Amino acid sequence: MTEPKRLLDSADRGFAERLLASSVADRPSGAARRRALGVAAAVASASAVGTASAVTTGALVKGALVWALVGGASGALVSVSVAKVAAHFETRSPRAAMIINAQPSRATPTHQLVVHTDSGPTRAGGRAPLPVVEDESAESGQVPATEAEARSVAEPQPIHSARAAQHDAPSAPARSGTTRATLGMSAHSSAQAASGSQLPALPSSTPAPVPALHDVEDELAWLDQARRRLAAGDAGGALTRISAYQSVFPRGHFQPEALALRAEALAARGERALAQLAAARFLATAPSHPLAARMRALVDASADPQRDRSN
């Protein structure tokens, strides 16, 4: 095969070449890279590399079945998240303002709390022999990656880097002009760009305390992605993102919501035992959370497969 000379290698610096050259300088931001690495770490640890092929298709079908059920809950999640942001800043990020339009959930009837004594948070680290149900058993063996597990692998690098990313950002406005704006994470970048005028300007040389809004917006974007995945019927994709969130932001503002979303996603995938575990952990840590009723319902539904199917 004869390789023609590449346009960029030609001595000719015409308009076409100049346009092509502009792509060479087009680079993802450090934050985007770190997010990708965070996802890689989460995927690797959470979904048993190389063996998860069957998961997504099953998840799609199941996700489609429960999507009506889940829709309400994820709406609630976002609403709660937004409420938190608002509480933090008494302010209006445009992103939050947009999300806030998400459909609020209908009230879920409160169900009796059915929590197995062995499913409390204390056991989170262990790979418990869960009473896994029906044909999902093979998968749930791999996915189990309960948060603790996923975290143990993924934690070491992303945390620092995630923080570092936010320190980097303000100190390099030059790059952030181009690259931040080209972040994949739309909510993050766009909200920042949009709310730039409202944020206190940081001196470019000082690694000053980072406005927490960055964190929150970033966190929100992660969860929003997970939520959208779940709403689109891709529970596997949602779980990946949730795992990534949980490992990147171990002390994130929305850990309870992430856990709730995880429970929903697991339920959507038909992994009732794991969903129940996640829901129970949620209830143990945030019993009075607005989503608690929803989680109780999930625990109940999980406890009764017939009921779940009828949904």
Contacting another protein within 230-259 (CB under 8 A): 232, 236-237, 240-241
* Minimum CB–partner distance for residue 40 and another protein (Å): 4
The footprint of another protein on residues 133-162 (CB under 8 A) is 153
Binding segment for another protein (CB under 8 A), chosen from 60-68, 173-181, 207-215, 258-266, is: 173-181
Instruction: Give the Cα separation of 238 and 260 in Å (integer).
Output: 12
Residue selected from 180, 269, 272, 294 as contacting another protein according to rule CB under 8 A: 180
Element (H, E) at 234: none
Decide: 100 and 87 in contact? Cβ < 8 Å. Answer: no
Burial of 112 (0-12, 13-18, 19+ CB in 10 A): exposed
| Tokens matching residue 50 | 């190389």
Which of 91, 122, 178, 198 forms a contact with another protein (CB under 8 A)? 178
Of 123 and 228, nearer to another protein (C-beta) is: 228
Please choose, out of 32-40, 114-122, 212-220, 302-310, the segment that lies near another protein by the rule CB under 8 A.
32-40
**Which of 64, 193, 202, 303: binder of another protein (CB under 8 A)?**
193
Give the nearer residue to another protein in terms of CB position, either 16 or 107.
16
**Binding piece for another protein, criterion CB under 8 A, among 190-198, 205-213, 256-264, 273-281:** 190-198
Q: Nearer to another protein by C-beta: 6 or 251?
A: 6
Residues of this chain, 98-137, that bind another protein according to CB under 8 A? 98-99, 101-102
6 binds another protein (CB under 8 A): yes
* DSSP 3-state of 103: coil
The span from the CA of 23 to the CA of 14, in Å, is: 15
20 touches another protein (CB under 8 A): yes
Report the residue number, 94 or 121, with the smaller CB distance to another protein: 94
In angstroms, give the least distance from the CB of 27 to another protein: 6
11 binds another protein (CB under 8 A): no
Q: How far is Cα 142 from Cα 127, in angstroms, rounded to an integer?
A: 10
Taking the CA atoms of 287, 292, 296 and 299 in sequence, report the sign of the dihedral they define: negative
Cα 311 from Cα 307, distance rounded (Å):
7
**Smallest gap, in angstroms, from Cβ of residue 116 to another protein?**
31
DSSP symbols for 15-74: HHHHHHHHHHT----HHHHHHHHHHHHHHHHHTTTT--HHHHHHHHHHHHHHHHHHHHHH
Asked whether position 47 contacts another protein by CB under 8 A, the answer is yes
Neighbouring C-alpha atoms within 13 Å toward the C-beta of 290: 18
